[in-house]
Amino acid sequence: MNVLIVHAHPEPQSFTTALRDLAVETLQGLGHQVQQSDLYAMNWNPVASAADFTERANPEYLVYALEQREGVKSDRLAADIRGELDKLLWADLLILNFPLYWFSVPAILKGWIDRVLVSGICYGGKRFYDQGGLAGKKALVSLTLGGREHMFGEGAIHGPLEDMLRPLLRGTLAYVGLEVLPPFVAWHVPYISDAARGDFLRAYQARLQGLEQDAALEFPRLEQFDERLYPRTHPL
Amino acid sequence: MNVLIVHAHPEPQSFTTALRDLAVETLQGLGHQVQQSDLYAMNWNPVASAADFTERANPEYLVYALEQREGVKSDRLAADIRGELDKLLWADLLILNFPLYWFSVPAILKGWIDRVLVSGICYGGKRFYDQGGLAGKKALVSLTLGGREHMFGEGAIHGPLEDMLRPLLRGTLAYVGLEVLPPFVAWHVPYISDAARGDFLRAYQARLQGLEQDAALEFPRLEQFDERLYPRTHPL
């Protein structure tokens, strides 16, 4: 497999970074090719703007997704976006590796999503969910958080973690056609012992070693909906 | 009321910007005080990093939330964060006004959340949800999106919009203690007629005029959980 790891943590010595390093080592050890995008180290610009196009289809009024579509066709995407897009298209597996900030990705990673998952390639028209532009590739989210495991789940104070991750797992990764594997989660990381962190590292390594057998999460398929995207059971 | 509008759209002529302008005019017309943070115009830096602290409690290893807590105590937050935090603390109502990017906020706005909602003031320890540091204030999300209304809701292709907005409405705004009002949503905006946009503007104005009567959404209250944050009905 070709694997792209997109990593976003402001502290190079962090446990989240150790997960990234372990993934590189483990996946290479299994014979996979690995590329990385260390967003903090790259000083990645997360702000979607008019500057993302070397020339504009409509210089008077910016509709970002439309400019992406034109930019893809006419090779007018900014170089930093094009570079990341090429890595993404090369990859069979995308790993997003980050600390949970506000039950979501850090802004620098949100800006990778906003700018790199371009309309016209990753999605567009009726190409989304199982018909998305990245269909055939897989995605894994590996994240660290401060909360304890019992604070998540049905009836727990924050509800199921998967529900909090819905815009990422379903609205982003599944939307562009990726087969989304169950997230790897390291709980309560800033507060646990080195031994407990070691347990998470071993669990992550075992997970990475068995990745090709992992069953993907279930998301909508376009065949369940009609031409206007109403559910096929809809009375209309 | 004191109102802070945080606005994030890369096109100054956008309909999302028209919503912002309308909110300023309508709320001022009602006698409220309004401040704005136009994140694109301000060239807001969305990237949480070590540079957010004029001096570090621990210069060797960055734990971002811990540095926030120390930075608040010792007045060591970067000037741009302090400026936004002061506006937020002044406000009785926070309005987040943005186009939906990947079922979530644009990265520049995520970075406002990551950097401005500092630990030690907005939350910390057992101060979250109804006990959050911003309890007593309200929040309204006003957003535009490309999708049609029938693509959202139970059984619809994307499910309920509120479920996609969960990390924002519950995991962020309710988490810091804000009373979260139901979002204002303008659907399918890039594709509709000027008349249909006019309808959304009128609906938003009416909404703003009746805001003080709006019932807030329901979220967890800490009294429903025990000291270890297990639900009080938990067998332990």
pLDDT at B234: 58
Residue ranges with strand state E in A111-166: 138-144
User: Above pLDDT 90, what percent of chain B?
Assistant: 96
Mean pLDDT, residues B110-139 taken together: 97
A233 contacts in B (CB within 8 Å)? Answer: 155
**Boundaries of every domain in chain B:** 2-224
Cα separation of A183 and A185, whole Å?
A: 6
**A4 contact partners, CB below 8 Å, separation of at least 6:** A34, A35, A36, A37, A87, A88, A90, A91, A93, A94, A95
pLDDT tier, B6 (very low <50, low <70, confident <90, very high otherwise): very high
Q: Which superfamily is assigned to B2-224 in CATH?
A: Flavodoxin domain (3.40.50.360)
Q: DSSP label at A171?
A: I
Residues of A numbered 67-126 whose beta carbons fall under 8 angstroms of chain B's beta carbons: which are they? 101-108, 110-111, 113-114, 117
Question: Given CB atoms, is B229 within the 8 Å cutoff of chain A?
Answer: yes
**The two structure tokens encoding residue B105:** 């906020």
Interface test with B, best of A60, A68, A101 (most B CBs within 10 A): A101
> Distance (Å, rounded) from C-alpha B172 to C-alpha B110?
10
pLDDT tens per residue across span B196-215: 999 999 999 999 999 989 99
Chain B interface includes A58 (CB < 8 A): no
Maximum CA pair distance of chain B? 59
Q: In this predicted structure, what is the pLDDT of residue B179?
A: 98
* Nearest residue, CB atoms, A104 vs list B10, B66, B104: B104
Query: Could you tell me which residues are beta bridge partners of residue A186?
Result: A144
pLDDT tens, residue by residue, A81-111: 999 999 999 999 999 999 999 999 999 999 9
